[in-house]
Structure 1
Amino acid sequence: MTGEKRIIRVSGPVVVAEGMKGSQMYEMVRVGEEKLIGEIIELEGDKATIQVYEDTTGLKPGEKVETTGGPLSVELGPGVLGEIFDGIQRPLDKIKAMTGEFIRRGVDVPSLPREKKWKFKPTVDVGDEVVGGDIIGEVQETKSIVHKIMVPPNISGSIENIEEGKFKVDEKIAEIKTDDSVEELKMMQKWPVRKSRPYKKKLDPDVPLITGQRVQDTFFPIAKGGTAAIPGPFGSGKCVSGDTPILLGDGSLITMEELYKKSLENGKVIEENEHEEIIKLDKPITVYSFDGSKIIKTKTDIFYKGKSDSLIHIKTKSGREVKVTPIHILFKINENGEIVETMAKDLNEGDYIVAARKIDINNEDEKIDLSKFNEKEIKKLPDKMSPELAEFLGLLFAAGQLDENKLILKIENGNKDILERFSELSLKLFGVECKILENKAIIENKLIVKFVKTLGILESKIPKIILKSKNKCIARFIDGYINASASNNVLSIEDKDLKVQLSYLLTRAGIYHEISHDGIFLHLDNSLLTSVEYGDEVVSVAISSCGETNYPNEIFADQIVEIREITGPFDVYDISIPGIENFFGGFGAILLHNTVTQQQLAKWADADIVIYVGCGERGNEMTEVLEEFPKLEDPRTGRPLMERTVLIANTSNMPVAAREACVYTGITIAEYFRDMGYDVALMADSTSRWAEAMREISGRLEEMPGEEGYPAYLASRLAQFYERAGRVITLGSEDKVASVSVIGAVSPPGGDFSEPVTQNTLRICKVFWALDSSLADRRHFPAIDWLQSYSLYVDSVKDWWKKKIGKDWKAVRDEAMALLQKEAELQEIVQLVGPDALPDIERLTLETARMIREDFLQQNAYHEIDTYCPPEKQFKMLETILLFNRETKKALKKGAPIDKLTQLPVKEDIARMKYIPPDEFEEKVKEIQDKIIKQCEEVLK
């Protein structure tokens, strides 16, 4: 019917409707019978083009469209913090409670909880004059953050009524008498996402946003209210290779690739694109994990398959092996005997990682009466094992053979004790005696032969009936196997799969062993790796965090003897284990991490509020964030970091148009908290996905494409977003200084920085932290390239550093940068003629630059002290390294030999500066500086 608002065309997330005269640009609408949320992005005559933020599958021409009369807006008030929203601010936990794990189309849930009452405490009195932006009261939203209730920007007048008490967000808390009327105030405000919130004045970016990361704070600082870009590749999953075996709860082994195939049969794909799949299992599987004190069983029902361009292949002293992606985390034991989570790319030969020492699998055993065995019983093979049968099978596995209908145990050394034991077990189990002839024991019984054949005990793999047995049976199986082998401590085996199976069985029995290319060496005296050597110092491998536990019986420190990168591409796999985040797997049981993301900037940045926007990230990566953020501890308060965090989750398989809205949702929430007087850090990951959403919508609109198919307005849209960052004086009677800092991750395909999104981002952002894969390959973290990165805030923030930290900060920083640049120039000569051909003064330059790189720029995110470096410590560390440079060059000019100057003992102290606690640092760094001067003088003498 003419005049009715109806759909006339559907093209993916873009819908065209007619009868829309009177509508406005960016007005929010409800589309179709399920009332899907959409936004008008183009108007022509009575036709409106709408981008729909939900799945449009099944929408058809003729369905109704309803206008709302207002733009796409977000709800701002108590209840925002600690929440996880989708791109249009729908609370995901509330939706899950209503619809299950999959978001149903058209579901309408309020962004802020309507049923919860918040305790409101007024900070103004009746009769007080207020203007937009003034704070009229407070709500203790979380234990970390006080939510300040503000007068909306467009209202001013006198307080006519205000009440203290508990209120819902949509209940009246105050009345303001304006010139024209009386306005009711609630704790909740609504604000259009595409309209920036007003402020009085934008300030110069002259105060640094301290992150505690030395390369960022000292060399490439970002200011509060500033903008930064971090490039990084799409999808670098923390996974393992497909042939990696993992240990299941029943004791059986299965490779990741086999588990993936079974997952497809017994689960459903919940996310899929050309690069990856995420599968939810119908029934959880049980695996083994380490909880910090003991090995435990844990369950998982999420399986992941992805791709990786490279893997890190690690071999240990005990012969264990594992192939993992470069950023997969393993558990390193440091020089203090503590476990530190460490990425594979940051490990080196000589490092120690956690391996299983003993795993107790206590499955139930079944008493089996094999004396009554018949054809029918053989077909119903028992699922469980008895110790005697296990020993019998162990003997056969080592030295058994079949000759037609005869079962023969052949012992090369003719040990009569073993042959008699085999006969004794045969009689006890089956009621059948053996014939013993020289070095053989022979059983001539068709049923027993058939039984053994059916078990597959004489094949090259250990039968599942053994793998799934109780540890007592495992021990007896191994006992039989060792006794019947040619040597008591060397098992000669060439088959790799069999070596892995036996390694897991030996681990379950608590027998230390080393795997080699031709077999397994047994340490029956349990002497393998009971301590860890660090130079001249030997430390206990007992882990300090475990306290008095049975640690020595559970795990041990296994030394890396070979580590190398292998190039692919490879299919890679992972399982997700919430809470425990590790499992045992590998070619020999090593403790492997499952997916986890460390949010260093979110945790340590000098911001009151953190907004994390996942705009089109892969589902498993967003899952990592959603699982990890609630567990991160806020170092400021010791409380959960989520108490001052808002997460906006918009994954790559969600409707593409919602990606376009999610960054606006995030920046609007950030501006709201800025208006309260808080410093806010917003992280958008990744803006490349956001730009891809714009490209798709633009293509659907048949607009003229720009470079690489992106819309011609790509640069202006990026600028509109980043320009909403800033340090400002907020609205209100009192001048409050607050900021929104924006850090955007860009993900150029193939790491190509010349592509349009990266180039346009660099034109707008004042800081560029260039991630370099070659640094990551050399185990240098953070992998920020000091030659490609830059910050345009250095001159802006130098006065803050000069006043608060040290008057020479800028000079010290510039001197260090000059040394690194000089090193890069000298490296070309070194590669041609070697370092010895350089003048002595240049050799000292190389040595100082090496110290800056390794002792200052490298920082361990997993070390309790080095994870965060205060500004004062950063300055003193760099100042000390440059003092070494000046004093050694001074001594060189006076005739000191170069070899002695490059081998001063104080270099060890300089290398350990980063691990000195901040409260002890000032005193100890003075000692180090005195040592530098003294040792240079001694060389001269």
Structure 2
Amino acid sequence: MSDHQNSDHEEPKAINGLPFVSDIKAPPRQSVYSIKYFLVVVANNLAGCKMFEIVHVGRQKLIGEIIRLKNSKAFIQCYENTAGLRLGDPVIRTKQPLSVMLGPGILENIFDGVQRPLTAIHEASQNIFIPKGIHLVSLNTTKLYPWFPSESIKLGDTLSGGDIIGFMEENSLFKKHMIMIPPKISGKLVMLKPAGTFNIEEVLAELKTPHGVTEIKAYHYWPVREPRPTVEKLEGDSLLYTGQRVLDALFPSIRGGTCSIPGAFGCGKTCVSQAVSKYSNCDVVTYVGCGERGNEMAEVLSEFPSLTTRVNGKNVNVMLRTILIANTSNMPVAAREASIYTGICISEYYRDMGYNVVMLADSTSRWAEALREISGRLSEMPADNGYPAYLGGRLASFYERAGKAVCVGNPKRKGSISIIGAVSPPGGDFSDPVTVSTMNITQVFWGLDKKLAQRKHFPSVNWNKSYSNYLDQLKQFFTNFDPHFLDNRRKIAEILHKDMELQEIVQLIGKDSLSETSKLVLDVAKIIREDFLQQNAFSDYDYNCPLEKTAGMMHIIVMYYESINNLLQDTSKNDQQLSLAVIKGNMKGLLNNISAMKFQDPAQSPTEFKNYFDKLKSRINEELKKLKSL
């Protein structure tokens, strides 16, 4: 490793109208000592600083974070390009960790990995790139929001962290953005602002504490690496609805669960993520694009504002409940590493209000690559594939922040965070260290298959490799929803497993050598693959599949299989076995109806679905009577 030194000592000029800071009042002893590979900056004479403290580096005040301390030297990872930084440039301490601004205005916004507002930066700089050293407030401090104080508190009450003092109407969909006392603050309420319209800088309440009067505004700051406090973690017991049959039926997750979606490039990870963000039964969606290609993030940023979903019977814009954190692969690696923590911290903030949040991280592989690169700059001992030895620990500390929890403060409330992490293993190799570590942590595995994607089978979830460990927790939920749901799911999984075994036999001896019941398994498995598991997200009839439709389709398929299987076994005992070809010839119309179940409009009511599937059950019984009379 060699030090980089810029010999040009001319004062830098303003770029795009954004002036450099040239009048920095910093002690000259706290200065840049060396620069390692344009990523890690070493500063000397910084004794007394803390790990993960934010510092401003150089005359442009580049944002940096201390990641190692050695004697009086501090190793700083910069969240911006260090080109042009010179030895001896000042380093200014902020004495604060990397924190995010939490308050009304987060929804519908687009941030980078350290919560800089990209739209506001573009308007200020008129540049497609983020200028170095630019510092803008994360949230709009001039926008006005309707404020409604809580009726359950009064002057003189003792309040503490997490207590709700009122709410603001953030947008037309998210009408109750709870304003909470920040954690670690408590005191007697001496002032509460009456209802009105205010910006987030307005003082809404005042608490008398042992240290004086503390002003409570609509926003506060919180360190991204520190989990927000909860009373206790609870076991999830309700389904995280995705609108995808293969996920909701075969590999379901709970609200507050952890899921991983590993898959090679082109397998449809983004499509699954968008489906979850559009149709999941959550209140808030946090989408973190972590180190993805620029054109992929550009597609997400252009498509998300145009996506709509139905809430309470109305079509609403998905962005009204979505936060986008965009961090592309050409942005500094260190900011990529921070973006995951920024996303989970914002998610915890909305969970503390009592809402159900889904966080989509796409992709954690790029995040792990950032860890690997920073680890290499620090000359740490590499582990498997060059990743740091603490990769599994960092992944676990991130995923453990998911879960259903009892929130701190009054009134009593519960919230949840579900984390869905996309993984991009090189070449679709699931033995990649990031994939293996993620599988060891997460409880749901939605493995995407390259061969299924090449056959245009989407979602390309491999039903032989994927799994869910939440079936026991969801047993009561599914039983209450439909007493036959779990039995039908088990039977469909059994048919798919038998089909996999029979396919190997068919390749050796051919299909004609199989028994009639084995042929039935192959035929029903084909119906399951093509008409149940496969789903066209861009169609008018299958873009979303309500749970009533999923349960009804499973019941019809299993009823058809068991009825025909029993008929074949009964006739074989009487030496008058019907062939499967004869049965299919007599039930051609019914088979067409079974294949056409997916064309039912997902906007129908549960009663309409029930009537439709009841008629189909009666049709199966009628056809069976005709077959038995042959």
TM-score, normalising length from structure 1?
0.61
Residue pair 1:596, 1:628 contacting (<8 A) in 2 also: no
Q: CA deviation at 1:733?
A: 2.4
**Where in structure 2 are the equivalents of 1:478-877 lying within 5 Å?**
599-636=274-311, 637-803=314-480, 805-877=481-553
Match of 2:202 among 161, 165, 171: 171
Choose 1 or 2 for highest CA Rg: 1
Letter in 1 for 2:129: F
Task: Give SS of 2:48's match.
Answer: coil
CA distance in 1, matches of 2:211, 2:31: 40
Counterpart in 1 of 2:575? Answer: none
CA distance in 1, matches of 2:383, 2:582: 61
Q: Which runs of 5+ in 2 are unaligned?
A: 1-25, 572-577
CA shift digits 1:283-335 (9 cap, x unpaired): xxxxxxxxxxxxxxxxxxxxxxxxxxxxxxxxxxxxxxxxxxx98xxxxxxxx
Kindly indicate whether residue 585 of structure 2 is the aligned counterpart of residue 906 of structure 1: no
Q: CA deviation at 1:781?
A: 1.3
Residue pair 1:729, 1:737 contacting (<8 A) in 2 also: yes
Counterpart in 1 of 2:130? Answer: 103
Residue pair 2:227, 2:401 contacting (<8 A) in 1 also: yes
Structure 1 residues 598 and 817, CA gap change in structure 2 (3 angstroms) = closer
Letter in 1 for 2:594: I
CA distance in 2, matches of 1:651, 1:33: 26
CA distance in 2, matches of 1:598, 1:153: 32
Kindly indicate whether residue 221 of structure 2 is the aligned counterpart of residue 190 of structure 1: yes
Letter in 2 for 1:161: M
CA distance in 1, matches of 2:46, 2:341: 25
CA distance in 2, matches of 1:600, 1:639: 15
CA distance in 1, matches of 2:570, 2:432: 53
Letter in 1 for 2:43: A
Would you say how many aligned residue pairs link Structure 1 and Structure 2? 584
**Where in structure 2 are the equivalents of 1:84-233 lying within 5 Å?**
84-100=110-126, 101-123=128-150, 124-145=153-174, 146-163=176-193, 164-178=195-209, 181-233=212-264
Residue pair 1:801, 1:807 contacting (<8 A) in 2 also: yes
Kindly indicate whether residue 52 of structure 2 is the aligned counterpart of residue 9 of structure 1: no
Task: Give SS of 1:114's match.
Answer: coil
CA distance in 1, matches of 2:282, 2:43: 44
Q: Any runs of at least 4 consecutive aligned residues in structure 1 with deviations exceeding 4 A, and if so which?
A: 595-598
Letter in 2 for 1:36: L
CA shift digits 1:41-97 (9 cap, x unpaired): 111111100000001111121000000011000000011110000000000011111
**Where in structure 2 are the equivalents of 1:410-489 lying within 5 Å?**
none
CA distance in 2, matches of 1:890, 1:714: 53
CA distance in 2, matches of 1:876, 1:142: 37
Structure 1 residues 178 and 17, CA gap change in structure 2 (3 angstroms) = same
Counterpart in 2 of 1:453? Answer: none
Residue pair 2:511, 2:519 contacting (<8 A) in 1 also: yes
Letter in 2 for 1:199: T
Letter in 2 for 1:901: I
Q: CA deviation at 1:116?
A: 2.1
Q: CA deviation at 1:870?
A: 1.3
CA distance in 1, matches of 2:446, 2:212: 52
Higher relative contact order (CA 8 A, sep 6+): 1
Structure 1 residues 598 and 133, CA gap change in structure 2 (3 angstroms) = closer
CA shift digits 1:18-61 (9 cap, x unpaired): 11011011001000010000100111111100000001111121
Residue pair 2:272, 2:459 contacting (<8 A) in 1 also: no
Residue pair 1:847, 1:902 contacting (<8 A) in 2 also: no
Q: CA deviation at 1:596?
A: 9.6
CA shift digits 1:843-871 (9 cap, x unpaired): 11212222211221111111223211111
Task: Give SS of 2:63's match.
Answer: strand
Letter in 2 for 1:614: G
Task: Give SS of 1:784's match.
Answer: coil
CA distance in 1, matches of 2:286, 2:504: 44
Task: Name the one with the larger strand percent.
Answer: 1
Task: Give SS of 1:902's match.
Answer: helix
CA distance in 2, matches of 1:902, 1:61: 81
Match of 2:610 among 922, 934, 939: 922
CA shift digits 1:240-283 (9 cap, x unpaired): xxxxxxxxxxxxxxxxxxxxxxxxxxxxxxxxxxxxxxxxxxxx
Letter in 2 for 1:926: D
Q: CA deviation at 1:722?
A: 0.7
Task: Give SS of 2:49's match.
Answer: coil
Residue pair 1:3, 1:19 contacting (<8 A) in 2 also: no
Counterpart in 2 of 1:263? Answer: none
CA distance in 2, matches of 1:790, 1:937: 39
Task: Give SS of 1:221's match.
Answer: coil
Structure 1 residues 883 and 170, CA gap change in structure 2 (3 angstroms) = same
CA distance in 2, matches of 1:156, 1:910: 62
Residue pair 2:101, 2:222 contacting (<8 A) in 1 also: yes
Letter in 2 for 1:57: A
Q: CA deviation at 1:2?
A: 9.1
Q: Which runs of 5+ in 1 are unaligned?
A: 237-325, 328-342, 344-594
CA distance in 2, matches of 1:6, 1:736: 48
CA distance in 1, matches of 2:157, 2:246: 49
Letter in 2 for 1:220: F
Task: Give SS of 1:794's match.
Answer: coil
CA distance in 2, matches of 1:752, 1:845: 31
Task: Give SS of 1:175's match.
Answer: strand
Residue pair 2:428, 2:450 contacting (<8 A) in 1 also: no
CA distance in 2, matches of 1:130, 1:909: 62
CA distance in 2, matches of 1:143, 1:63: 48
CA distance in 2, matches of 1:820, 1:598: 25
CA distance in 2, matches of 1:105, 1:613: 22
CA distance in 1, matches of 2:412, 2:506: 57
Residue pair 1:228, 1:766 contacting (<8 A) in 2 also: yes
CA shift digits 1:615-665 (9 cap, x unpaired): 101101000011111111122241211111000000000011100000000
CA distance in 1, matches of 2:216, 2:494: 58
Residue pair 1:597, 1:624 contacting (<8 A) in 2 also: no
Counterpart in 1 of 2:103? Answer: 77
**Where in structure 2 are the equivalents of 1:353-392 lying within 5 Å?**
none
CA shift digits 1:443-477 (9 cap, x unpaired): xxxxxxxxxxxxxxxxxxxxxxxxxxxxxxxxxxx
Q: CA deviation at 1:798?
A: 1.4
Structure 1 residues 791 and 839, CA gap change in structure 2 (3 angstroms) = same
CA shift digits 1:89-124 (9 cap, x unpaired): 000011111112221100000001122232221014
Q: CA deviation at 1:598?
A: 7.8
CA distance in 2, matches of 1:886, 1:758: 38
Q: Percent identity of the aligned residues?
A: 47
Letter in 2 for 1:27: E
